[in-house]
Amino acid sequence: MFEWFQSHRDMMCVIMGAAFGLGARIFMLRSDYRQYPAYPHGKIIHLSLGLIAGALGAVAVPALFNKDYTAITFLSLAAQQFREVRNMERNTLTAIDHLELVPRGAAYIEGIAVVFEGRNYLAILTAFMVSVFVMWVGWWAGLLAGAASLLVAHYFMKGKKISHIAHVEMAPIRLDGPNLYVGDVYMMNVGLDENREIIREQGIGFILVPKNDDAKVTIANLGQRQAILHDVSTRLGVYRDDGDPALMPIAKLGLRTGKLGLLVLPREKDVDKAYQAVSNVPLLEAAVRMPTEANRKSTEAKQSG
């Protein structure tokens, strides 16, 4: 067995590396309440790309060990192809977004596209590390490297949520004539008595209180607000149909306080589920702002200069 492994080390590198690369992509592929990627065809596409990514990362190692340095061009080709994956996801989600009762928004779509591209690179990295350790040490070291790479992939899968930057509080919905308030945040003017009655019966109000000045800027981002409304509406449904603009879930900013008022109209009026849905909305990378850190660095630069 040992002699066979020694004589077929290159083959073992490729097989184990590709297997762990595909395994990492399977591990990172999730269809949750958003039901994306769709089953089965959407998953088949991404699993196929995961296998290709794993094979490319695994093949590069024995090629480099054999001084075939042109093999690095395979990785550059992979980078180009996975940028196309990002474009594919962006175009697909943008095309269907106008069919949603509560759209995702451009920032959320871009975030999803970036994630799909990045996870293919993680699959390549996993395959590459497994292949390196198999070549240098042995198959058992490749198994350990693969397990460690899966832990790294799991770490990068976990992003921040709204609850990390803001306190989510239940807030009463108040109608002062046609004027609608959630807590002390003015939301909109509701003209029809029928719509006001629906809001009284089905509406749930939340106030997001930012934990710091950076969070104030982040939750003010229109893309992040739209992502919150979409996620809650996806998990609990939405009590509206096309052509009912007054029943659209809405997020408005309290300009004096920086608080964000949310009015949601779920089909399933479950306060606890709605609270969890708002708290667990992912924090979009495109929405994160850190003005206080930038201002601090600018002040330090002036003082040192």
Q: What local confidence, expressed as pLDDT, does residue 32 receive?
A: 55
Residue of 5, 7, 27 lying closest to 16 (CA atoms): 5
pLDDT tens string 184-222: 899 988 888 888 888 888 889 999 999 888 888 888 889
| Of the candidates 29, 37, 35, the residue with the CA atom closest to the CA atom of residue 120 | 29
Give the pLDDT band (50/70/90) at residue 301: very low
Least confident window among 131-140, 162-171, 265-274: 131-140
Is residue 23 within 8 A of residue 153, CB to CB? The reply is: no
Pair 57, 128: CB distance under 8 Å: yes
Is residue 291 very low, low, confident or very high in pLDDT (cuts 50, 70, 90)?
Answer: low
Report how far residue 199's alpha carbon sits from residue 230's, in angstroms, rounded to the nearest whole number: 18
Cβ neighbors of 86 (< 8 A, separation 6 or more) are 113, 114, 116, 117
Instruction: In whole angstroms, give the CA distance from residue 129 to residue 127.
Output: 6
The amino acid that residue 60 corresponds to is A
Q: Which two tokens stand for residue 79?
A: 């980078």
- The chain-wide mean pLDDT, for the chain, equals 82
Query: Does the structure show a pLDDT above 60 at 282?
Result: yes
For 10-21, what is each residue's pLDDT tens digit?
778 888 888 888
Structure confidence at residue 4 as a pLDDT band (50, 70, 90): low
Q: Under a CB-based contact definition with an 8 Å cutoff, are residues 199 and 175 in contact?
A: yes
Helical segments of the chain, H only: 2-7, 9-28, 41-65, 72-97, 106-136, 139-157, 162-165, 193-202, 213-220, 222-236, 271-279, 291-304
Is 106 a residue whose pLDDT tops 80? yes
In angstroms, rounded to a whole number, what is the distance separating the alpha carbons of residues 239 and 122? 40
CA 66 vs CA 61, 119, 146: distances in Å: 9, 28, 23
The phi and psi torsions of 47 (rounded to 5 degrees) equal: -70, -35
Q: What element of type H or E holds 181?
A: strand 179-182
Locate the domains of the chain by residue range.
Answer: 2-158, 163-292
